[in-house]
Homo-oligomer: A and B are copies of this chain.
Amino acid sequence: MKQLKKLFFCVLFVAILPAVKAQEVSWSEVQPGIWKAVIGQPEKYDLLTASGAQPNKEALAKIGTAPFPLAKSDIEFKVVDGKTYLRFPLQQKEQLYGFGLNFQTVHQRGKILELHVDHYDGQDNGRTHAPTPFYISSNGYGVFVNSARYIKVWAGSGVRKDSPDFPTPTDRNTDKDWAARPYSDAVEILVPAAGVEVYVFGGPKPLDAVKRYNLMNGGGYLPPRWGLGFTQRVMASSTAGDVENEVKAFEEKGYPLDFVGLEPGWQSKSYPGTFEWDKSRFPEPSVFVRKMLDKQIRLNLWINPYVSPEAPFYKEIRPFTSSHTVWLGLIPDFNIPKARELFFGQLQKDQVDIGVSGYKIDEVDGFDYYLWPDVATFPSGISAEQMRQTYGLLAMRYSAEMFKKLNRRTFGLVRASNGGGTSFPYVIYNDYYDHKDFVTALVNSGFTGTLWTPEVRASDTGEEWLRRFQSNVFSPMAMINAWASGTKPWTYPEVEKQIKEYALLRMKMMPYWYTEFAKYHFEGIPPFRAMNLEDGFNQEVTKETLMKVDLEKNPYAEATTREVKDQYMAGEYLLVAPMFTGEKSRKVVLPKGNWYDFYTGKLAGNGEVISITPGLDIIPVFVKDGGIIPMMPALLHAPKPGDKVDLEVRHYGEKAGVYKLYDDDGETFNFEKGAMSWREIKVERQANGQLKGAISAPEKGKPNTIGKVKFVFF
């Protein structure tokens, strides 16, 4: 061994090369305000090939171009040791957002992450359901790394010895200002592949970069109207009869219900699954599905994509599956057409064709102990790592195709997404259940091109039940997931009245939600998003001063940062500030401009931090000055195509306002061929000082679901 060692050091010192030289990146504008660089030898399989994302060129052209947002010479890359090292500059006071669906933090500057599709395990470390390699800067630009690898990110933590911004070292023995984390002037990224495609998105504002990113991926999915109603997931062992009874109970009690989720027990076997109905619990699936549809109730079916030996297509699909199994089920390689044909063919024939409206795709995220190891192999030759990063994308993409073929929109649930997944009809959910962190995930979802539901499952108290329900109503999918608990909206009698009121509010707001989702589709604006994307919101990173440091507990005397992560924007005009169990009051940061109470129209404040004590009945919601919220009556189901609903258009504050209301048939893709309209709602102050509202006339030959329109001035 001694000789080996000597030999090694000989070789080593002969081999001391000048450090691999960093190269400047060459950028080409692939869409207006979107630049792409091809670095090294990118792999053929990446997030955009997996998702099949197609840019909405028309919408991107409408936004137009922008100046390249960074000094190109400050962006560097090297390919070292078979890996790609990227560096992007950071300015003083610049803040970063994004890097996937984080649950506890909004400010990402200074973080170290390994972006890895996984269930969320209580730490913002890069392992999450949608670890999108996309970040947005408060300076108004975005960066996307199009790789399906586990990407490591140092989002402003490393300090290079030749940094032009090198801080002055201090002495920890004597200098009280010594910092455990000195100032860093770069985002550094390691892509474990010998090349990668990188995209930069121009501004000028951070929201512009987000819009460009979303539109490059096709924009958000426009859900069917019923997708924005209320959904209840029933217990895993429910039978057709149980479901009918539950639907009846909703009807009798006057609770809205648009779709019902069936959990594993709809299948004859699950974990691994057969992907066919259990005939003991559902003896006549097509009759049952039809019966439900007649009551305006859609069905959404839970699956995870791991194939039981008793699945009808098991033998046929076996050659097109991984070396490894999940819960002893085969893992279809969705990169192989034959695997897709067999898997989705079964779903199509057995479920979609008889009227099932969508799926809940479970366990495509992690966690490691259940999923395939990174040493698994797949017959397409795509590595286990790349499959892990894209399996959710593939499952969403090819399941959505089943519905597209039938010209039916779907809306479902999924546990994993990634870059490129913006345009899929899925909302992310998980097993985690911290209400505050659920709200922070909602804040961050807008940075990742994903939708997230802070689902309600069960609660220890009526107060918690109501608090969770209230936030859930102001989220992409209003849902109780009672697969294990069997809870109903009315399970906690002490808050039943308030729950019902909020369930109905969800329905009343459907015209607003539907339009805001249309903006996600056509303009790339996330319907739920961080305050940091809102004009007039300016929150400095505040370092809490550590007055007294306990070195036993905090040996490096680390300071902490404060950030706004418990309030968010919902659509164009609403600011939602949820309440959490046990809390009677809270602070709300209001951006510049007047903000009004959603329920009373009372002025709440302007560019300030207010303190409120709203009581148990209320989730605080504020409306921007001039805000217009179109509402409909509290129906128990979304309107059917052709139904007309009356509108109550609310206007808040002093300013004139304008709102473009979206309309179409609510169920098909005919809108893609022009069967849609944007109706302009205007509120103006008249000569007499009074406000007056008007809505533009319906366009000829376009769908029109609007009946009478009434204006209410708050």
Partner-binding segment picked from A219-227, A319-327, A435-443, A675-683: A319-327
Q: Residue among A158, A188, A383, A556 with the most chain B CB within 10 A?
A: A158
Minimal beta-carbon separation of A51 from chain B (angstroms) = 10
8 Å CB contacts to B: which residues of A251-287?
A: 264-265, 267-272, 278
A154 to B324, CA, bound (A): 12
Query: CB < 8 Å: which of B52, B271, B375 contacts A85?
Result: B375
B49 touching A375 by the CB < 8 A rule? no
A292-329: which have CB < 8 Å to B? 308-310, 318, 321-325, 327-329
With A1-B55, A431-B555 as contacts: A383 and B270 at CB distance below 8 Å = no
Contacting residues of chain A (56-108) with chain B, CB-CB under 8 angstroms: 78, 80-82, 85, 87
CB-based contact B335/A552 at 8 Å: no
* CB within 8 Å of B: which A153-169 residues: 154, 157-162, 166-169
- Which one of A271, A318, A485 has the greatest number of beta carbons of chain B within 10 Å? A271
Q: Is A19's CB within 8 Å of the partner chain B?
A: yes
A483 to B172, CA, bound (A): 13
* A4 to B48 alpha-carbon distance, docked (Å): 10
Nearest CB of B to A377, in Å: 5
* Bound form: Cα–Cα A168–B85 in Å: 45
Q: State whether the Cβ of A15 lies closer than 8 Å to any Cβ in chain B.
A: yes
Q: Is the CB of A160 within 8 A of B552?
A: no
| Contact string against B for A residues 544-584, beta-carbon threshold 8 Å, 1 for contact and 0 otherwise | 00000001100110000000000000000000000000000
Instruction: Please choose the segment from A174-182, A493-501, A600-608 that sits at the chain B interface, where 4 or more of its residues have CB less than 8 A away.
Output: A174-182
For the complex, give the distance between the alpha carbons of A374 and B182 in Å.
18
A158 to chain B: closest residue by CB: B373
In the bound assembly, the distance between CA atoms of A712 and B456 in angstroms comes to 69
Contacting residues of chain A (335-380) with chain B, CB-CB under 8 angstroms: 335-336, 368-370, 372-377, 379-380
Residue numbers in B under 8 Å from A160 (CB-CB): 323-325
State whether the Cβ of A671 lies closer than 8 Å to any Cβ in chain B: no
Interchain CB contact (< 8 A) of A157 among B271, B310, B373, B552: B373
Q: Does any Cβ of B come within 8 Å of A409's Cβ?
A: no
A405 near B: Cβ within 8 Å?
no
Q: Which of A5-13, A531-539, A660-668, A693-701 contacts B (4 or more CB under 8 A)?
A: A5-13
> Is A708 interfacial (CB-CB < 8 Å)?
no
| Any B CB within 8 A of the CB of A190 | yes
A125's closest neighbor in chain B, by CB?
B368
Chain B residues within an 8 Å CB radius of A329? 169
A192: CB under 8 A from chain B? yes
| Contact of A233 with B by CB under 8 A | no
Q: Tell whether A171 is near chain B: CB-to-CB under 8 Å.
A: yes
Q: Give A11 Cβ to nearest chain B Cβ, in Å.
A: 6
Contact B264 A159 (CB under 8 A): no
Contacts of A48 in B (CB 8 A): 1
Docked CA distance A160–B321 (Å):
11
Query: Does A458 belong to the interface (CB within 8 Å)?
Result: yes
Query: What's the least CB distance linking A337 to chain B, in Å?
Result: 8
Partner of A379, one of B19, B171, B310: B19
Q: Which of B80, B112, B167, B171 contacts A369 (CB 8 A)?
A: B112
Complex: A81 Cα to B11 Cα, angstroms: 26
Q: Name the distance in Å between A267's Cβ and chain B's nearest Cβ.
A: 7
- Cβ–Cβ < 8 Å partners of A310 in chain B: 169
Instruction: Tell me whether A180 and B323 are in contact (CB under 8 A).
Output: no
Report Cα–Cα, A192/B265, bound state, in Å.
Answer: 41
Q: Within 8 Å CB of A309, what residues of B?
A: 169
- Structural contact, B271 and A551, CB atoms closer than 8 A: no
Residues on B with beta carbons closer than 8 Å to the beta carbon of A543: none
Q: Determine the distance from Cα of A184 to Cα of B321 in the docked complex, in whole angstroms.
A: 18
CB-defined contacts of A12 to chain B, threshold 8 Å: 44-45, 335, 380-382
Given A19-B379, A44-B12, A55-B1, A152 and B265 contact (CB-CB distance below 8 Å): no
| Complex alpha-carbon distance, A382 and B270, angstroms | 49
The interface bits of chain A over 369-411 (1 if a CB of B lies within 8 angstroms of the residue's CB, else 0) are 1101111110111110100000000000000000000000000
Q: Give Cα A381–Cα B53 distance, bound, in whole angstroms.
A: 39
User: B374 contacts A152, CB within 8 Å?
Assistant: yes
| 3 tightest Cβ-Cβ pairs between the two chains A and B | A484-B551, A172-B271, A169-B328
Given A15-B381, A152-B374: 11 more A-B contacts, CB < 8 Å: A8-B45, A11-B44, A152-B373, A154-B373, A159-B325, A169-B308, A172-B327, A173-B236, A173-B267, A188-B375, A484-B551
A/B interface sample: 8 pairs, CB < 8 A: A1-B48, A154-B373, A166-B328, A172-B270, A173-B267, A173-B278, A190-B375, A457-B552
